[in-house]
Structure 1
Amino acid sequence: MTTATKDLYTLMSERKSVRKYDPTFKMTQAELEEILALATSAPSSSNLQSWRFIVFQDEATKKELRAIANDQEQVETASAVIAVIGDSDMYKNVEKIAAQNVAEGHMDENQKNTMINNAMNLYPYAPAELRRNIASFDAGLISMQIMLIAKEKGYDTVPMAGFDMAKFAERFELPEHHHPIALIAIGKAVAPAYGTSRMPVKDIARFI
């Protein structure tokens, strides 16, 4: 980051949901990988990082995806579409994650074993719906980070939940424990987003 980097509040204010993109502008895979890598600093339940991604750049595949996504134009015209997937079997990666925590100096062996034991005593026995809800919650956290990081880098985004999730899972051969949650179009805007209002805090929060 440089001193020219915009502050967080400015980015939050300037990030808008853009639906008109320059179809000739193409982001590189390296740029998209960097955005995803930075976004993984997001918190997740028990640090199990239940998010997965499919990144669509191929023009023919984006055209096919557009049909699954209720014919939303931005799916085809944006530089890429990031599908955010939730993994409800996230606990199966706990040993790998815990070992990496030790290797990077974040915990010792005792803490690693505690993390593994806690996860394996809880998540395998939790109802499938609960694990799916946890994965959806984690996906929401990282999705916002993706959009803010993209804006800081000069790109525009729009999140979409309006797509046929069953058709998506079938077409892109998702395993049973992977659940499509959102699509994020990303690229360069050719028209500004609509301005939107927000309800005042007094109407949405109760302090007790």
Structure 2
Amino acid sequence: MSSTLKADFFEVVRERHAVKQYDPAFTLSEQEILELLDIAGSAPSAWNLQHWTFLAITDPAAKQNLLPIAYGQQQVVDASVVVAVLGNLQANRNAEAIYGPAVQAGLMPEKIKTGLIEQIDYAYANIPTVPRDEAIRNASFAAMQLMLAAKAKGLDSCPMGGYDAARFVETFHVPEQYIPVLLVAIGKAAAPARPSGRFPVSRTVVWNQFGD
């Protein structure tokens, strides 16, 4: 795999498609996978809590365990890696580890850190939708960035929401603090993605407000 990113961002975006068929003989090294996940982890996140955790599935036996959970979708076996993007329902607990070093480095006043942590703790304790909504929203940012990073490195990917999440949690011993958001298969395409159309932007944009 080339370590050089494609220069044209718009080319990367336009060329990324959900590839279903992969070359099973093509493998990615652990370092190459880590490079992709490092880029994915630079995605935006609310309060910079970095709500994602990546479960990288490369072992053939683990892929076979995943196959029925993913309803027999062959790409989970043939792709080089399947990344389960998990959202952290307890991402508020990351705050001290994130803001503490910033204060020590003189990049953030202690007062700002204290205020932010109070704000985060209040939201997580008092707004029931926040833990799940933020886990899914922010992990989705990372998932999209992962797929774009893969395309920029000459790879292909497939986001997968069609799997038994409860069975996945049980089989892969996922701790309760995490919620499965997406599976992302990454590897070398054995066949191009099936063409898919998109609505014209005129159909998907509303200016200023709905109705009169």
Place the TM-score, normalised by the shorter chain, in its bin. Answer: over 0.9
Q: Determine the C-alpha separation between the residues in 2 that align with 1:48 and 1:189.
A: 34
**Does 1:124 pair with 2:125?**
yes
Note if contact 1:157-1:185 (Cα within 8 Å) is conserved in structure 2.
yes
SS at match of 1:133: helix
Corresponding position of 1:166: 166
RMSD of Structure 2 on Structure 1 (CA): 1.7
Note if contact 1:165-1:180 (Cα within 8 Å) is conserved in structure 2.
yes
Q: Greater CA deviation, 156-165 or 37-46?
A: 37-46
Name the amino acid aligned to 1:123.
Y
TM-score for both structures, normalised by structure 1: 0.93
CA distance change for structure 1 residues 56 and 105 in 2, over 3 Å: closer, same or farther?
farther
**Does 1:152 pair with 2:152?**
yes
SS at match of 1:190: coil
Name the amino acid aligned to 1:74.
Q
TM-score for both structures, normalised by structure 2: 0.91
Name the amino acid aligned to 1:55.
A
**Does 1:113 pair with 2:114?**
yes
SS at match of 2:118: helix
SS at match of 1:5: coil
Corresponding position of 1:193: 193
**Does 1:6 pair with 2:7?**
yes
Structure 1 residue 109 displacement after superposition:
2.4
Structure 1, residues 2-23: CA drift from partner, whole Å, max 9, x if none?
A: 9973311110000111111010
1:22-37 map, 5 Å: 22-37=23-38
Aligned pair count? Answer: 206
SS at match of 1:64: helix
Structure 1, residues 136-171: CA drift from partner, whole Å, max 9, x if none?
A: 011111111000011111111000000000000111
Unaligned runs of 5+ in 2: none
Unaligned runs of 5+ in 1: none
Q: Determine the C-alpha separation between the residues in 2 that align with 1:102 and 1:63.
A: 46
Q: Determine the C-alpha separation between the residues in 1 that align with 2:44 and 2:110.
A: 22
Structure 1, residues 15-69: CA drift from partner, whole Å, max 9, x if none?
A: 1111110101110111111111111111112111111110000001101101100
